[in-house]
Structure 1
Amino acid sequence: MLTVLENCRVSSPLSTVGDKSLPLTFFDAIWLLFFPISQVFFYELPHPKSYFLETIVPKLKHSLSITLQHFFPFAGNLIVIPNPNRCFNGKKPEIRHVEGDSVALTFAEYELDFNELTGNHTRECHKFYPLLPLLGQPSKVYDYVTIPLFSLQVTLFPNKGIATM
């Protein structure tokens, strides 16, 4: 029912952010125990698929790129030491952005009825799951693990609207 139209990665414009890190506070670290939060927003967009691909998609990519220069941690990774007894040079978990880091962005098309999903009535949860983007897999680098922080998906309902997350 869900067709992926494009998978891409978007980063901030070159030489606008550089390498930066933000250490997690005690209050940030508490949230490491919870699953990521997912919210889906619906917008009416009464245009065909061709208009979406030719006009909306390039503008969204450009807008995200410009936004990431101000909100660079979203493009970064969470750096976690797997063994808390053996710190990597005494460092605690942090959000690290390295020049060239990017956000995974997926454009897709969904065959379900837009009005069915956005109506004011009871709906089945499983119909919303395809609208959520995959976050990305953690990877081990030396003595620490890098975990992507953010991913986005824009799902088109042709001639009806879009859903974003």
Structure 2
Amino acid sequence: MVIVDMLPQHWAEVKQIYLDGIATGQATFNTDAPSWEEWDKSHLPTCRFVALDGEKVCGWAALSPVSSRCVYQGVAEESVYIAQDCRGKGLGSQLLSHLILETEKAGFWTLQAGIFPENEASVKLHEKLGFRIVGTRERLAKHYGVWRDVYLLERRSTVVGMD
């Protein structure tokens, strides 16, 4: 497995992995994947990665801004998605670890994630890599007609933003 920068030509496979995540009902409030153009606009241009097994995209990670205000330039929301047939093999840990390392090189001091409490594997992965639950956003929104809570997790860098 090799982790490389995400390129537009990876989009078809990235989108399918995202759609598979949507189908679990535990990954996102979204009910469909956006177009490449919409996705590209809503994510930061830096720190976008795919995990490749040969030519096959097995997972991806990317950042979304939390605010347009300059004081939050070192804070981002991260997303990590793993293909169905690649789950349970440690790839999520590899991809999130890579994302953390690269975001610190890029000057990010805080990463946050919103995760459904029922997505125990994702919560455990994030906690293993230094994220902590800072709160529960209760009944944040309806998902297929049912109110859902979302854990807000964050990871504060131990090397960036320490001065």
Q: TM-score, normalised by structure 2?
A: 0.24
Query: Which structure has the larger Rg?
Result: 1
Considering Cα pairs closer than 8 Å and 6+ residues apart, tell me whether 1 or 2 has the greater RCO. Answer: 1
Q: TM-score, normalised by structure 1?
A: 0.24
